Structure 1
Amino acid sequence: MLAMRVFVPLILACSALLAASTGAGTLAFAAEAAPQTEAASLTSPKQRLDGLFSDLKKERDADKAREVANQIQMEWQDSGSATVNLLMQWADKSITDDKQAAALDILDQVITLAPSYVEGWNRRATLHYTMGNYRKSMSDINHVLSLEPRHFGALAGMASILGAAGKDELALRAWEQFLAIYPADRKAQERLGELTEKLAGSKT
């Protein structure tokens, strides 16, 4: 989610605060180039995500953590439906071409076809955000988090919206939740530190 500008007071601000070779030489090189994570040997989407989130929570190196986060985002992007995946590509193309209304219509179709597809809701939340529809963005963020409470992207969006609305304590809570899932993210660490200092100063 992008940096916030102006925000209308929220109704549901805190309701959801709550990604074969053979031969010994090739395999050895692959192991060195891409260290195995706990998620590597798991097969179902849920197992892979659970393993990746476990890796993300334990990783303290920011660059390595970002690689794990990118793998998680790749897992989220695959809806399991060729039709929905194609619609998401069309939505992305419309956004790139600055055809926001068309992208919104496509994302509405995605959500109708696959209401449990987390990334459909998240992409629409992001689009509403960039269009200035902050109340609608927060509503979609709440839905994302009801489906996937570990969605750190949605939590970052929520924190940004709440912070811009002057709801610093709620924004701080959202960043705390984000960092409980993704501890190595430096920007989130900075934002949490800034809010902590700001709130401490306001109480003195």
Structure 2
Amino acid sequence: MDQARLDQLYAQLKQAEPAEAKKIGNEIILELSRSGSSAMDLLLKRGRDALEAGETQAAIEHLTALTDHAPEFAEGWHLRAVAYRQAELFGQAVSDLERALTLRPRNFEAIYGLGVLLEELNRPEMAYEAYSRVFEIHPHYEDISDVLDRLSATLGGEDL
């Protein structure tokens, strides 16, 4: 993974118009998905494929093998958190997201996933903070403005 390239993409992302931001965001996601090892990339692909097929337990197994063999590869932790969330293993999901974000603090997909999880755990203030961080990194990510507006209204317009 090329850190200088990632830094450049993140800088461009903040300034980009919506259509260009989507393209840059996808480039960042692709860059974050590269472990540097074809064997680890294969485990990531198998985990992702299992998730998409709704095979949560198989995804957890593939992604656990990935995190065991490549503990510094943040995307393994991020995707395993997604699998844990699907399995309603929320504590493990939060733990894996924390690990992923320790390794890659600007991973807007992982931060967004944390926000979703915090909402599910009835922690709207913390979810709002997570979504606000996504907005700082990627102002045009999915429906982030709508999500922030919705939560702000739910929280009674409090300053957080």
Q: Same fold (TM over 0.5)?
A: yes
Tell whether the 8 Å contact from 1:128 to 1:136 is kept in structure 2 after alignment.
Answer: yes
2:127 is matched with: 171
Could you say what secondary structure the match of 1:180 adopts?
helix
1:194 Cα deviation (Å)? 1.2
Judge conservation of contact 2:56–2:86 (CA < 8 Å) in 1: no
TM-superposed CA distance for 1:201, in Å, is: 5.7
| TM superposition score normalised by structure 2 | 0.91
Partners in 1 of 2:157 and 2:76 — Cα distance? 40
Deviation for aligned residue 1:80: 0.1
SS of 1:200 mapped into structure 2: coil
Task: Note the alpha carbon deviations across 1:37-90, whole angstroms, 9 max, x for none.
Answer: xxxxxxx6101100000011111x222111100000000111000110111222
Matched with 2:152 is: 196
State the 4+ residue runs in structure 1 displaced beyond 6 angstroms. none
RMSD: 1.8
Equivalent in the alignment of 2:108:
152
Contact 1:62/1:186 (<8 A) preserved = no
1:55 aligns with 2:27: no
The structure with the largest helix share of the pair is 2
Matched, 1:90 2:49: no
Counterpart residue type for residue 134 of structure 1: F
Task: Confirm whether residue 162 of structure 1 aligns to residue 118 of structure 2.
Answer: yes
Is the 1:128–1:134 contact (alpha carbons within 8 Å) kept by the matching residues of 2? yes
CA distance in 1, matches of 2:30, 2:158: 41
Structure 1 CA distance for aligned equivalents of residues 127 and 116 of structure 2 = 7
Aligned length: 159
Structure 2: which 5+ runs fail to align? none
Secondary structure in 2 matching 1:129: helix
1:156 shift after superposition: 0.7
Q: Which one-letter code corresponds to 1:168 in the other structure? A: P
Q: Secondary structure at the match of 2:105?
A: coil
- What's 2:31 paired with? 75
Secondary structure (helix, strand or coil) at the match of 2:155 reads helix
Distance in structure 2 (CA, Å) of the matches to 1:96 and 1:177: 27
CA separation in 1, counterparts of 2:132 and 2:54? 34
186-195 or 91-100: bigger deviation: 91-100
DSSP-derived class of the 2:143 partner: helix
Identify which of structures 1 and 2 has the higher relative contact order when contacts are C-alpha pairs closer than 8 Å and 6+ apart.
Answer: 1
Cα distance, 1:97–1:172 mapped onto 2, change above 3 Å? closer
Greater Cα radius of gyration, structure 1 or 2: 1
Q: Hey, what's the Cα distance between the residues in 1 that align with 2:50 and 2:141? A: 30
Unpaired segments of 5 or more residues in structure 1?
1-43
Q: Distance in 2 between matches of 1:185 and 1:103?
A: 25
